[in-house]
Amino acid sequence: MGMASVLLLLFTEILMIFFLGIGYLIRFKGKVTLVAGYDPKRVRDSTGLSTWIGNSLLLIGVIGVITFLIEVLVDAQALAAFFTFALIIVPVVSIVTAWGARRFYKKEVE
C-alpha cells in the first residue's frame, strides 16, 4: 500500500466519520440548526426536515464506509472508488437532498 493509498483512506475515513456524525446528530438528536441556511421561520415541518437531511447524510456516510472497504480490499481501484464517492456520489445525493428538502419549507407568497 503506497502513500497515495494511505492518504485516500485517511480522506475517506474523515469524510465518512463527518457524514455519519452530522447525520446522526440531525436525524436522531433533532439538531436541525446544523443544516446550512436553516431558518425556523421558513420551516413548516422541522421533524420531517431533520429526518430527510439526517437520513441523506447517513446514506452518504454508509456509502463512505463501502468506499473505504473497497479502498482497503481492492487497492488497484482505490483512486477510482474515492473519486466516484467524492465527485459523483456526494454531489448527487446532496442535490437530491436539497431538492427534496423543499417540501418541508413553507410556501413563499410573492
Q: What is the pTM of this model?
A: 0.91
Place of cell 417540501: 103
Instruction: Work out the average pLDDT over 78-98.
Output: 95
State residue 1's pLDDT score. 61
Q: What percent of the chain has pLDDT over 70?
A: 95
CB contact at 8 A, 100 and 52: yes
Closest CA to 67 of 47, 93, 98, 90: 90
Task: Determine the pLDDT at residue 51.
Answer: 97
Q: Is 17 left (phi over 0), alpha (psi -120 to 50) or beta?
A: alpha
Q: Which residues pair with 78 in a beta bridge?
A: none
- Say which amino acid occupies 51: T
Longest dimension (CA), the chain: 58
- Say whether 105 sits in a helix, a strand or coil: strand
The rounded distance, in Å, linking the Cα atoms of 90 and 59 is: 10
CA 55 to CA 48: how far, in whole Å? 10
User: What is the per-residue pLDDT across 10-64, written as a single tens digit (0 to 9) for each?
Assistant: 999 999 999 999 999 999 999 999 999 899 999 999 999 999 999 999 999 999 9
